Structure 1
């Protein structure tokens, strides 16, 4: 096999290895999983089934997404951002939110350009920066007053950047950016000329007492922000594989071309289901799903009281500090599975020094009744 320098630094995501080791044992508590057991919106199921039965959407075209979905995304973004995106010029539909990352990176970076992410961050973001040929630089998260916070003092030292690639809430930590964070990010983008690539996949999955701020509403960021959205997390429509990119019209010309050549187009019948969910006047169950995620999160934190777990301000997961338990993240992951029957992913590929000392506990795919066994399982693993 010929060498390829891109893959010298790209790391395996880790969760698939844990899932394979866990197998299909029903006793294993599946906290490595990126899925959710909360049902997708019924309106989306019905619209997708109707499209299939009526043979709608079985097409390659339009290459940038069906007009009805681009218009629904524009309406959704108007509510979130306050901006009136042109559905034809400023929105492109993608095959899931994560598939949007590569065409954006290819459009805004040159080889070896620095792209800043948090430590920890979603491996799907970090490793795509490497595959795109850019250089990932990590700004650490710190635990302050019991929650993850951005190290703004380190961020303000950034003097060269092509882009900042950020999530709020962030995977895997559940950290949520506040107003001061976004203002610091705006200052860095203005000073360096960087784009903000904002992964908004979990934007509304925020728990009580924590802010939900869209960066496009922060002075100076709207004209620099490229938004990546998805139906997978908030709307629980993982299998539909529908995402989108929205941003300033000039850079979207480039992103549109990169997207067409990257993934062609998402399935048309799935797009029709997504449009139905976005346009559902009842809210497609988002509020109810968020309440359930918070309830599950709270059970996890209660179960692990006294252990080095950091609560999440939102999202689907929280982190347990393996090094504080005198273990490596891989050792803790192995013990959790072998002794406690808990599948949990070590954060080896999810950042730098902060990420690699933690394992991730995903609470989106296990009900409260099963999560209530977590304490006994962890004690068995550590005993």
Structure 2
């Protein structure tokens, strides 16, 4: 019998989704996979009903329904100031997961190198391998998860074709400063490197931190491939609506990749999501206020357990240090918590290139009552310490 491709041996199935299955098995509160346990705004649900009753059930334009792209371009311009052309600068994808794959396959040839900051969202390493690229890992040092400028410079000297930046970052919650992004921009220009950004948490950034979209930096639009989605901003992770934004020259190639990966995103969902893209600024202000309250509530419980943690600057994840619980590996700790405590997180080792086995990632995109229930269960950890 023939053997499957050897490149598949170098990574596993998603640890995050695996922890969700374990949570379901034990009836545990799932703070592993980052999706809400509450519905999206009522206006979106009403729009979904209208779209379902309308004539939106056949293929949309491959790279995105015109009405959706027009609304998306206006929303991006409103928040970034970039003059985005809906017909030249956008490809609508099946979530940001496809967007990242499209970006990687558009930017990289087999054998190219790609800089990845560690810790990283687990898909990035797999995306590089599936694209035939070789990751160069640059560590981010806690608690603020800053990179070492000399290490980054040496990584760029290896002539990478691209660098991946998750900003705000999953899993660390880091928000890159403008100064850090400008340093990366200078190196990217010097070494003629693409910058692939994942900005899905752009509207979940806690004061005093500010999100800076890399494409808005001077001279960077032409070399930036921005990946984003509607999943987190509008609490519609199951709708799988993402996009790639780049220069017209890059998008012309990205459309080819997207076309033969998935053909197109769901037409009725694109129609319904237009309503969300047209929400007023007050929606985004309310979103941030809501997540700020959730963060404070959940971190207060973590603090009461006595376990050290890193306060997230953005996104809705927190890395918790479980060294004092006495487990040899974080995978063992995460599975024990699921069975015995009834709260499920993600072993931190799945996000690091380095041998890190003392962290668990929890997310707090849940209703207040869910976070309180999870927090009360986590307080049982004080008895084990």
- In the superposition, the TM-score normalised over structure 2's length comes to 0.92
Q: Which residue of 2 aligns with 1:98?
A: 97
CA 1:308–1:112 in 2, change beyond 3 Å: closer, same or farther? farther
**Contact 1:310–1:320 (Cα < 8 Å) also in 2:** yes
Q: Contact (CA 8 Å) 1:319, 1:359: kept in 2 or not?
A: yes
Measured in 2, the distance between the counterparts of 1:30 and 1:343 equals 5
* Matching residue of 2:147: 150
Aligned CA distance change for structure 1 residues 151 and 354 (closer, same or farther; 3 Å): farther
CA apart distance, 1:122: 0.7
Deviations 1:146-174 (A, max 9, x none): x3333333212221111111111111111
Q: Does 316-325 or 192-201 show the bigger shift? A: 316-325
1:33 counterpart SS class = coil
Alignment map for 1:253-332 (pairs within 5 Å): 253-281=252-280, 283=282, 285-305=283-303, 306-323=306-323, 326-327=326-327, 328-332=329-333
Give 1:24 shift.
Answer: 5.5
- CA offsets, 1:71-113, max 9 Å, x none? 1111122123322122112111111111111121111101121
Q: 1:354 to 1:141 in 2, by over 3 A?
A: farther
Deviation at 1:326, TM superposition (A): 4.8
Structure 2: state its 5+ residue gaps.
none
User: In structure 1, what is the Cα distance between the partners aligned to 2:228 and 2:19?
Assistant: 27
Q: 1:302–1:344: structure 2 CA closer, same or farther, 3 Å change rule?
A: same
CA distance in 2, matches of 1:4, 1:25: 34
Task: Indicate the residue corresponding to 2:245 in structure 1.
Answer: 246
* Aligned twin of 1:36: 36
Asked whether the 8 Å contact 2:102–2:257 carries over to 1, the reply is yes
Question: Is the 2:20–2:32 contact (alpha carbons within 8 Å) kept by the matching residues of 1?
Answer: yes
Query: What is aligned with 1:135?
Result: 134
Alpha-carbon distance in 1 for matches of 2:246, 2:378: 45
* Number of residue-to-residue matches in the alignment: 377
Q: 2:51 & 2:251 partners in 1: Cα distance?
A: 29
Does structure 2 retain, via aligned residues, the 8 Å contact 1:120–1:354? no
Structure 1 residue 37: deviation in Å? 2.2
Cα deviation for residue 15 of structure 1 reads: 2.1
For 1:29 and 1:237, the matched residues in 2 are separated by 20
Question: In the alignment, does 2:216 pair up with 1:213?
Answer: no
| Residue ranges of structure 1 left out of the alignment (5+ in a row) | none
Distance in 1 (alpha carbons) for counterparts of 2:26 and 2:339: 12
User: Is 2:20 aligned against 1:23?
Assistant: no
- Is 2:205–2:314's contact at 8 Å kept on the other side of the alignment? yes
Deviation at 1:270? 0.2
For the residues of structure 1 that align with 2:119 and 2:361, how far apart are their CA atoms?
11
Does structure 1 conserve the Cα–Cα contact (< 8 Å) formed by 2:198 and 2:228?
Answer: yes
Structure 1 residues 6, 63: closer, same or farther in 2, change over 3 A?
same
Aligned pairs for 1:119-198 (under 5 A) are 119-144=118-143, 147-158=144-155, 159=157, 160-198=159-197
2: distance between equivalents of 1:326 and 1:192? 45
Residue in 1 that maps onto 2:53: 53
Select the structure that is richer in helix: 2
Q: 1:31-67 CA distances to partner (integer Å, 9 max, x unpaired)? A: 112211243122222122101112x221113111111
Equivalent positions of 1:201-240 (< 5 A) are: 201-240=200-239
SS in 2 for 1:219: coil
TM-score by length of 1: 0.92
Task: Tell me if 1:63 matches 2:62.
Answer: yes
Let me know the Cα RMSD of the aligned residues: 2.0
Q: How far apart are the structure 2 equivalents of 1:326 and 1:140?
A: 25
User: What secondary structure, in the 3-state scheme, does the structure 2 residue paired with 1:18 have?
Assistant: helix
Contact kept in structure 2, 1:126 and 1:350, CA below 8 Å:
no
Is the 2:50–2:272 contact (alpha carbons within 8 Å) kept by the matching residues of 1?
Answer: no
CA contact (8 A) 1:14 1:348 kept: no
Q: Deviations over 1:322-346 (max 9, x none)?
A: 4465532112212322332211111
Equivalence for 2:381: 378
Asked if the contact 1:168–1:200 (Cα under 8 Å) also holds between the matched residues in 2, the reply is yes
Name the CA distance, whole Å, in 2 between partners of 1:278 and 1:242: 12
The answer on whether the counterparts of 1:34 and 1:362 sit within 8 Å (CA) in structure 2 is yes
What is the rounded CA distance, in whole Å, between the counterparts of 1:355 and 1:93 in structure 2? 36
